[in-house]
Every structure is written in C-alpha cells, then in structure tokens.
Amino acid sequence: MALSLNTIKPAKPMAKKRKRVGRGNGSGHGTYSTRGLKGQNSRAGAGGLRRLGMRMMLRAVPKMKGIKPVNPGFQVVNFSDLEKKFKEGEIVTKKSLAAKGLVSLSGRPVKILGGGELKKKLKFEAVELSRAARKKIGV
C-alpha cells in the first residue's frame, strides 16, 4: 500500500473525542447534561467564587483594619563589635559603621547595645545608645 495523504491517520491520543453534553437523552448526557438538578453549579455562567482556590485565597488574606505605621526597627551593634573594628579615639557614626561593614546605609536607624566590653575611648555621634551602653561608657 502506497503512502498518500488520504491514508494518514492521527495518533491514538489525538483521535479521542471530547465529551459533548446536552445533545439529547440518546447521547447519555441529556436533560441535566451531567450538572445535577438545581443549584449554583447547574446554572450557566456559574463560575467565579465556586473554585476552591479562590475561596481559600480569600480566606487567607486578612481584613485590613486601619493603617499601621511601618516600624523599620534598629540596626544593632554591640560593644564587642566596636572593640574589634575601631581604634582608640575614633568617632562612631552611621557612616563609619557602614564603612567597617557593621551596618548598612539603609533608612533604618542604628543603636549601640552594651553587649561585651569596650576598653577603648570612642566618641558617639548620631547613633542611639541603649541604657546598658550609656551606663558602661558613663553618659
């Protein structure tokens, strides 16, 4: 048998026919067309919120009650870090801390905590000090 265009057949999966519903009772899918009787899902255009994913998404998103200010929090540095990175008599500012790699120059403020020992005399400018830090340096 010679190969010609009129003898070519599609592969098996491509030949599967789609289910045609609502084409009379003789088809086996007539009357209610596999939708059951009454209810939301039996009507035309009954999509929308009935999909499970959409319902779950709506339940997961909380109701926004009021506007809460964003508190970025502090970038914290301990005395032990200052002891390692700074020399005697240096000035501790946000820029000097960023240059030594202890903080970033983002919009978040810097706070010096009293963790560890600080034996060097340093000057602090434009940074917050915790109570413990103030007590240790005598401010």
Eight-state DSSP code of residue 43: S
Ordered by where they begin, the domains of the chain are 75-137 (3.100.10.10)
* Nearest alpha-carbon partner for 125 in 103, 100, 92: 92
> Which pTM does this prediction carry?
0.48
Band (9; pLDDT cuts 50, 70, 90): confident
Q: Pick the residue with more confidence: 34 or 15?
A: 34
Neighbours of 75 (CB within 10 A): 18
CA 28, CA 20: separation in Å to the nearest integer? 10
Give the tens place of pLDDT for each residue, 83-119: 888 889 889 989 999 998 989 888 889 999 888 888 8
Give the tens place of pLDDT for each residue, 37-82: 988 788 887 765 556 666 666 677 777 777 777 777 888 999 888 8
Q: Which residue type occupies 15?
A: A
Which residue blocks in the chain are alpha helix, DSSP H? 52-60, 79-85, 94-99, 131-137
> What is the pLDDT, as a whole number, of residue 52?
61
CB 64, CB 94: distance < 8 Å: no
> What is the pLDDT, as a whole number, of residue 3?
82
CA 32, CA 37: separation in Å to the nearest integer? 7
> What is the pLDDT, as a whole number, of residue 8?
85
> What is the pLDDT, as a whole number, of residue 111?
92
Q: How far does CA 91 lie from the centroid of its chain?
A: 39
